[in-house]
């Protein structure tokens, strides 16, 4: 099979184990999935389900205890630092917190240009034009390149983080709770931007979130995690419209409804199950 026929990403029987002294904790156990070209796979579950650990394992930020992670058919589970750095040309990440992901001492034009300078060195004027073009694509003006992170709102900072992640036209972007730190009014704008840029670039997304309504909107397929295990998988429509597992139904019940009696019943059911309630009114703002 040629490289072009391989999925962008294959995760096979992945297990991630953390060690603290003599204590060992399995955060992820026997997880498998793949992502095709231009596809978005949603990885959804409550806090502690293992979803962010999987993202970190793909990025080389968490140990792979068992299983294999393949990019374009090549095992990337145990790369050297130099090999991992080379892989970032094709695999990028958008983190949850845009505040901590930007260097406060550097203008944002520097941060966006850095991946280009590492992987595709070019004259300063060429790099500058690429930065300006990327800023425009995420809805910011060219003069933003000379400003510092503290001069931007949270939503603007996440747009900057997206610009930096996509400036190299990566094949795969790991999106680890990329909107959960933002106000609801800003979340919809950023989600719509990510969907638009994906249509333009053809990148594949691994979209990690606890919010099933957002995951449903962006994803082609969904994998539901609980306690480090896959409990349900299927197309986004199948999972959203006809979930087969009680846990998935409880995640769906987090969405508010106009009937206060029904909403109270849903909240009580989630609390009884030990799941935290969270408003996802953002769903009505996503186009």
> How does pLDDT run across 34-57, given as a tens digit for each residue?
999 999 999 999 989 999 999 999
Helices (H), 142-259: 154-166, 184-201, 212-218, 236-241, 246-252
pLDDT score, position 6: 83
Residue limits of CATH 3.40.50.300 in the chain:
1-90+172-195+203-239
Query: What are the mean pLDDT values of the chain's consecutive 10-residue runs (287 residues total)?
Result: 73 94 90 97 94 95 95 92 90 88 92 93 93 94 95 93 94 93 83 92 95 90 96 95 91 63 56 47 45
Bridge pairing between strands 91-94 and 172-176? parallel
The model's pTM = 0.85
C-alpha distances out from residue 96 to 175, 194, 201, Å: 8, 14, 22
Domain range 1-90+172-195+203-239, CATH class: alpha beta
Kindly report, residue by residue over 117-170, the tens digit of the pLDDT: 999 889 999 999 999 999 999 999 999 999 999 999 989 999 999 999 999 999
């Amino acid at each position: 099979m040629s490289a072009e026929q391989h999925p962008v990403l294959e995760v096979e029987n992945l297990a991630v184990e953390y060690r603290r002294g003599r204590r060992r904790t399995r955060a992820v156990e026997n997880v498998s999935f793949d992502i095709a070209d231009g596809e978005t796979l949603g990885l959804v579950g409550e806090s502690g389900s293992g979803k962010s650990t999987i993202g970190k394992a793909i990025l080389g930020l968490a140990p792979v205890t068992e299983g294999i992670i393949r990019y374009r058919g090549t095992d990337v589970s145990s790369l050297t630092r130099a090999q991992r750095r080379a892989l970032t040309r094709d695999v990028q990440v958008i983190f949850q917190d845009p505040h901590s992901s930007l260097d406060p001492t550097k203008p944002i034009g520097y941060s966006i240009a850095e991946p280009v300078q590492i992987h595709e060195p070019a004259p300063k004027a060429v790099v500058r034009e690429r930065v300006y073009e990327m800023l425009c694509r995420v809805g910011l003006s060219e003069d933003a390149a000379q400003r510092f992170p503290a001069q931007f709102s949270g939503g603007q900072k996440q747009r900057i983080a997206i610009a930096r992640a996509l400036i190299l036209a990566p094949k795969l972007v790991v999106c680890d709770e990329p909107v959960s730190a933002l106000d609801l009014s800003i979340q919809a704008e950023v989600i719509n931007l990510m969907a638009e840029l994906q249509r333009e670039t053809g990148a594949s997304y691994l979209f990690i979130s606890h919010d099933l309504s957002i995951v449903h909107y962006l994803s082609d397929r969904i994998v539901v995690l609980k306690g480090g295990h896959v409990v349900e998988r299927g197309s986004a429509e199948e999972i959203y419209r006809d979930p087969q597992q009680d846990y998935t139904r409880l995640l769906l019940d987090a969405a508010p409804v106009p009937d206060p009696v029904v909403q109270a019943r849903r909240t009580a059911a989630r609390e009884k199950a030990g799941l935290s309630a969270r408003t996802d009114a953002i769903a009505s703002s996503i186009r």
